[in-house]
Amino acid sequence: MRFAWLPTLAIVLLSTTQVVLAHDGPDPLARWRFDSESIVPQSDKAISLRARRGPDGTIVGKHQILGKKYDETLYFAGGESGVLLAENHKDAQKYLPTEHMTVSLVASIDQPQKWGGLIGVVQDNGKNESGWVVGYNEEVFTFALRGTEGTDRLTYLAGKTKYEKGKLYHVVATYDGKLMQLFVNGKLDAESNAQAGPIYYPEQTPFVLGAFCDSDEVNGHKGRIREIVLYDLAAKPAWVAHDFEHNANLTSLPAEEVQEPLDFVMKPYLQFGTQTSMTVMWRTNRPGSATLYYGETDECPQKIEVADAKEIHEIKIEGLEPETQYFYRTETRLKPEDEPLSSEVATFQTAVKRDTPFAFAVISDTQGNPKVSGTVGDYAWAQRPSFLLHAGDLVSTGKNESHWTQHFFPSMNPLMRHVPTFPVLGNHEQDAKFYYDYFSLPAPEYYYQFRFGNSDFFMIDSNRNVGPDSEQYKWLEKALSESDATWKFVCHHHPPYSSDENDYGNLWKTNKSTRGDLDARQLVPLYEKYNVDIVWNGHIHSYERTWPVRENKAVVAGAPVYMIVGGGGGNLETPGPVRPFFMNTVRRGHHYVMVRINGTKLEFQAYDIENRLFDEMVISKKTVSDN
């Protein structure tokens, strides 16, 4: 059955009212109006979107009703916002099309993104592609679908009509078992016959509105949605044109810039602390003037004001006393007379003097798993480190803004609001601008040095060239040669030594493996020449500690120890089947580590996701003992 009869019906009923037309067609599988009548509180925290037909959903994230009655729309604020209809689409299976489908919707886009979604039941992970989604990319509307008899991947239709931010559009996507079509404002915008047969659904994936969401990604919609209707029939172009007529008054309205209430995108956190300074950063959803209050009591009697209106706020406090506890809070205003957006009062301590003991946490590869990264971050904060060292892959996709604002910073804020974070770039950061915007580091930022207590830390970008003729190699050699620190540490993402099963050669199919990153291994002679104590790495999502290694041999003492601490959240990896010469301890599992330094003594401990100790080491400048 098709919508072929609808154009004829429309002609017959031209003399009747629009209400009759609206009710005289086929019943949809589901229909949602995004207005005040449809939004019902479920509890103190949960809010429901009641369907006109089909499944109700739970509204997630920040949202607001806009417009007057009969013209209301629901505005979603992006991030991880949207409407969850079913965590597993099979729980709402009777409302999903099987062989043919039509989606009709009215929506606006305020924030273009590579993978934007308005309604979907989709899985798009590498070769695992199935389901369907109607959404948009950075410029146009899109419709993706996979059939059982078409290609073995999703076919993504991208329209030709470039949308204007903030403007409402009528979008229709259809599939009749042979042909996919995408219409924008009543006109055909794209089509494809690459797919055929019934819709090929995933084994398990969420059913959502107002988001692109699969098993490992949530890209919430930022913009308005007026209505979404889902049919199990394929509409003809004449029906689409007629459906557009009912919404033409909305699509003819000028673009509307939605003014969200001032709020935090990222709450205040600390950067690059020294003995006499600390930098505080935060981001708001609208540009505003900023004031940082601080002092030695929670009244925070001193202040620094920045009048320039910005979204990303960065204020450096100078003239502080070494190893001293301070309090701070922030205020942001759109206008001087407005009520400020205020943060909670938090604390920090300036860096210690050379002869004072201190401790720090090391975490890596927090990417795309805020539940795990938040857990290990909270455990680390409970041990009161002086700072956090992060060995890269902070996020899954560095060029995806939501991975910073929704994954990394919210999960790590309980730790980062109290202690400064010193990161290096991983490959997943993609050298994205967000990294440089959200961290305040010495130029050129992708490599730098800092001193804490009696220790020097040398931070390297192992995604760039690190060979003997490279800028980083020459800088590192000079910096190491000039260091008079008791302890010398280096941090970069890729490990010179690793027993991983397949990153450097598949050890389940051959005995050939480089046993680590050969580019990063070019730095090893510098570590041995200038007596580096520990090299911190990530990239491999497991834990590994080597014996001291010199000239490619394990020694008892007096050589660098290499540690992979990639258990901050990424999908776990496994060591190979045999034990290489450098391996001391290896462990599969999420984790974090703590390092404690008192003069010439270093204590190291590693903790799992249950906060249980699983490895420890003590190094003295005279002896080394493993427990």
Topology given in CATH for the domain delimited by 264-349: Immunoglobulin-like (2.60.40)
Model pLDDT for residues 406-465, shown as the tens digit of each residue: 899 999 999 999 999 999 999 999 999 999 999 999 999 999 999 999 999 999 999 999
Least trusted range by pLDDT, from 333-342, 397-406, 586-595: 397-406
Q: In sequence order, what are the beta bridge partners of 101?
A: 175
Model pLDDT for residues 212-246, shown as the tens digit of each residue: 998 777 889 999 999 999 999 999 999 999 999 98
Share of the chain above pLDDT 90, in %: 82
Reported confidence tier of residue 44, pLDDT bands at 50, 70, 90:
low
- 127 vs 67: which has the higher pLDDT: 67
CATH 2.60.40.10: which residues of the chain? 264-349
Q: In sequence order, what are the beta bridge partners of 274?
A: none
Q: Are 333 and 342 in contact (CB under 8 A)?
A: no
Q: Are 539 and 392 in contact (CB under 8 A)?
A: yes
CATH 3.60.21.10: which residues of the chain? 359-626
pLDDT at res. 41 = 83
Burial of 47 (0-12, 13-18, 19+ CB in 10 A): middle
Statement: residue 252 has pLDDT above 70: yes
Statement: residue 2 has pLDDT above 50: no
Alpha-carbon distances, residue 13 vs 20, 233, 244 (angstroms): 8, 21, 17
pLDDT at res. 258 = 83
Q: Residue 225 has which token pair?
A: 């949605």
Reported confidence tier of residue 10, pLDDT bands at 50, 70, 90:
very low
- 399 vs 627: which has the higher pLDDT: 399
Model pLDDT for residues 171-192, shown as the tens digit of each residue: 999 999 999 999 999 999 999 9
* H or E segment to which residue 46 belongs: none
Model pLDDT for residues 195-217, shown as the tens digit of each residue: 999 999 999 999 999 999 987 77
Q: Among 544, 424, 591, 575, which Cα is nearest to 493's?
A: 424
Q: Angle at which helices 370-382 and 409-416 pack, to 10 degrees?
A: 0
* CATH of 359-626 among 1.10.10.10, 3.60.21.10, 3.40.47.10, 3.30.540.10: 3.60.21.10
pLDDT at res. 21 = 32
Outline where 77-198 has alpha helix (H): none
Averaged pLDDT score across all residues of the chain: 91
**Average pLDDT of span 78-94:** 92
Q: Are 278 and 346 in contact (CB under 8 A)?
A: no
Q: Are 399 and 430 in contact (CB under 8 A)?
A: yes
**Average pLDDT of span 601-619:** 97
Angle at 427 between CA 423 and CA 428, to 5 degrees: 85
Model pLDDT for residues 139-151, shown as the tens digit of each residue: 999 999 999 998 8
Residues with Cβ within 8 Å of 303's Cβ and at least 6 positions away in sequence, in order, are 291, 292, 293, 294
Model pLDDT for residues 359-371, shown as the tens digit of each residue: 999 999 999 899 9
Tell me the three-class secondary structure of 467-529, residue by residue. CCCCHHHHHHHHHHHHCCCCEEEEECCCCCCCCECCCCCCCCCCCCCCCCCHHHHCCHHHHHH
Residues with Cβ within 8 Å of 11's Cβ and at least 6 positions away in sequence, in order, are none
Whole-angstrom distance, CA of residue 453 vs CA of residue 489: 13
Statement: residue 104 has pLDDT above 50: yes
* CATH number for the domain formed by residue range(s) 6-251: 2.60.120.200
Q: In sequence order, what are the beta bridge partners of 136?
A: 116, 141
Reported confidence tier of residue 260, pLDDT bands at 50, 70, 90:
confident
pLDDT at res. 25 = 53
pLDDT at res. 43 = 66
pLDDT at res. 70 = 75
Model pLDDT for residues 261-313, shown as the tens digit of each residue: 899 999 999 999 999 999 999 999 999 999 999 999 999 999 999 999 999 99
Model pTM score: 0.80
CATH 2.60.120.200: which residues of the chain? 6-251
Reported confidence tier of residue 51, pLDDT bands at 50, 70, 90:
very high
Model pLDDT for residues 490-533, shown as the tens digit of each residue: 999 999 999 999 999 899 999 999 999 999 999 999 999 999 99
* H or E segment to which residue 15 belongs: none
Sheet holding 47-49, edge to edge: 39-41, 47-49, 57-60, 82-86, 207-209, 116-125, 128-136, 140-145, 155-162
Reported confidence tier of residue 45, pLDDT bands at 50, 70, 90:
low
